[in-house]
Amino acid sequence: MNFGLEGKRALVFGASSGLGRAIAQALIGEGVQVAICSRDRSRIRTAADELGAALGLVCDLAQPGAGKAAVEQLLGTWETLDIVVMNTGGPNKGTFEEVTDDQWQAGFQNLWLGAVDAFRTALPTMRKSRWGRLLLVTSAAAKEPMASLTISNGLRAGLTGLAKSLSQEVARDGITVNCLLPGYTDTERLRELGLAAEKITALVPAGRLGKPEELAALAAFLCSRQAGYITGQAIAVDGGYLHAH
């Protein structure tokens, strides 16, 4: 299937590895000019070279205004932007009683305000061209909380509501807004959480971990011409993990 993305321009956050990198690779495969960013300068340069990305930018979403600055830097080079994929690393683990005020604030800045800043800055050029795709990579935890991931459970669920609200405001401008909810996927994040693969796969009806490229394939489709009538959705890629949603 030709997704009709040849020559479109995209910015993918958190793309030096894992899900972000897989999404960038999928879009590049569809002929999209892709700029990737992450907070680690050497890693993003290496990833850009390996993927054949058009640009590699340094952006630490933990810093106020970083999402806005990344989009503005890109628009200063390209002038237009068609696709923004917001993918951020997971916040600290902890139960409700363990999470500190500073950790809540850091999570809000990284997961929430970074996305708000980036989308708000990109919207004017998308409205002008009357075409745009905004994607939020959140988590299955947005629908079914996971133990000791209190910050992620709370904030990512809120992002679903934000995406739904924004989708209704921009739909007439040809702009779609959707969330991707990865389940247990074979990434560095999973290993950082110290979760045993055999225990996880016992919880997943598919009996295995997800692959980053499986989620990336859906991301590429949601950016496509054919997906122009899909907006305000939160779609899980989880091997059947979620229950009754």
165-180, pLDDT tens digit by residue?
999 999 999 999 999 9
Residues with Cβ within 8 Å of 230's Cβ and at least 6 positions away in sequence, in order, are: 176, 178, 222
173, 164 Cβ separation under 8 angstroms: no
- In this prediction, what percent of the chain has a pLDDT beyond 70? 96
The mean pLDDT value for 15-42 works out to 96
pLDDT exceeds 90 at position 191:
no
**Each residue's pLDDT tens digit, 17-29:** 999 999 999 999 9
Kindly list the distances between the CA atom of residue 91 and the CA atoms of 118, 123, 138, 143, in Å, as whole numbers in the listed order. Answer: 19, 27, 12, 17
Sign for the pseudo-dihedral over CA of 181, 184, 186, 190: positive
- In this prediction, what percent of the chain has a pLDDT beyond 90? 84
pLDDT range class, residue 193, cuts 50, 70, 90: low
Block residue for tokens 């830097």: 73
The two tokens of residue 109 are 């800045």
pLDDT exceeds 70 at position 100:
yes
The model's pTM is 0.94
Please state which architecture CATH assigns to domain 9-237. Answer: 3-Layer(aba) Sandwich (3.40)
What average pLDDT does the structure give for the chain? 93
Distance, in Å, from the CA atom of 96 to the CA atom of 23, rounded to the nearest integer, reads 32
For residue 195, the model assigns a pLDDT of 66
For residue 199, the model assigns a pLDDT of 78
pLDDT exceeds 60 at position 90:
yes
DSSP string, 180-238: EEE-SBSSHHHHHTT--HHHHHTTSTTSS-B-HHHHHHHHHHHTSSTTTT--S-EEEES
**Which of these, 231, 224, 220, lies nearest to 4 by C-alpha position?**
224
Helix (H, G, I), strand (E, B) or coil at 135: strand
pLDDT exceeds 70 at position 242:
yes
The two tokens of residue 241 are 């993990």
pLDDT range class, residue 147, cuts 50, 70, 90: confident
Distance, in Å, from the CA atom of 245 to the CA atom of 234, rounded to the nearest integer, reads 11
178, 235 Cβ separation under 8 angstroms: yes
Strands 132-137 and 175-182: parallel
Per mean pLDDT, which range of 51-60, 131-140, 196-205 is the poorest?
Answer: 196-205
